[in-house]
Amino acid sequence: MQSKENCKSASTSAGACPPAPFLILAAALAFVALPSSAQWSTVGGDQGNTRYSLLTQINSQNVTKLGAAWISEKVGPPPSSRAMPVIDDGLLFLTAPPFVTAVDIGTGKIAWQYRLAPDTVPGAPVGGSPAREGVAVGESLVFVGLSDSNLIALREKTGELVWKHSLIDPAGSNTGGPSGAPLYADGLVSIGTNGDNGNRGQIVALDAKTGKETWRFFVIPGPGEPGSETGREQFRRHGVLHQLRRRGLRTRLQDGAALSICQRPS
């Protein structure tokens, strides 16, 4: 019997997740296979987040021959995702809430799906749903931030849950959900939490194998910490954007990263 936390695809298991009108489309050179040594193991492509591939199979001479290689099986219910897919050891990983999905890059078949959150009304907020920002891989595990301020590790080949750890500060500072995809390096997996709505922005690092917290860094220093002498206690207590708005400033995110700050007209 399947657990409600690990939902196999319909092609590999009976009684699996119901289909819905959402497809993953992959475009590739139909006559070229991805080399087994080629990985895209973070949303930024590598540990330097360069988003640059050294592969040379697609070039100015053959780019016009690109065509659809496959279309995946249906994934449901209709999800929303802004994540860069991650590729490792023949599998493509994607967070599209409420699912984490692993797809065989050779065939487009769904290898496994993981779902923590229960069924809900389409479009309604789902506590514990995988964040839309994506995953990281390492130690044969897939690391995923959840919307309820948890980080989980799944087995790369099966989607089995290995560990789950809360990102909430044990000392009681307000902690938001993931602000980006996790990063894996040298046995540690780290993830940032958002600083909106009165939350205190943090970076939390965990042991990749066990999920045990290793260190925690606060973006806004607390009383007595280096940098606290700048006197920005209100930012620590209430969040940066909240304070800017209180001061009559208008904020807008540009290109998903740059913050534009403008004075509101009087």
Nearest residue to 205 via CA among 179, 236, 184: 184
Mean pLDDT of the chain: 73
Nearest residue to 158 via CA among 90, 208, 111: 111
At 128 the pLDDT is: 74
**pLDDT per residue over 63-72, tens digit each?**
999 888 898 8
Helix (H) or strand (E) holding 218: strand 213-218
Confidence of residue 90 (pLDDT cuts 50, 70, 90): very high
**pLDDT for residue 37 is more than 80:** no
**pLDDT per residue over 244-259, tens digit each?**
555 454 444 443 344 4
**pLDDT for residue 7 is more than 60:** no
At 141 the pLDDT is: 97
Query: Which segments within 57-169 are labelled E, that is strand?
Result: 67-74, 86-88, 91-96, 99-104, 110-114, 130-138, 141-146, 150-155, 161-166
CATH entry, 6-219, from 2.40.37.10, 2.140.10.10, 3.40.190.170, 3.40.1410.10: 2.140.10.10
Between strands 213-218 and 249-254, the pairing is unpaired
User: Higher-confidence residue: 233 or 84?
Assistant: 84
**pLDDT per residue over 143-200, tens digit each?**
999 888 899 999 999 999 999 999 988 888 778 888 889 999 999 999 988 877 777 7
Domain residue ranges in the chain: 6-219
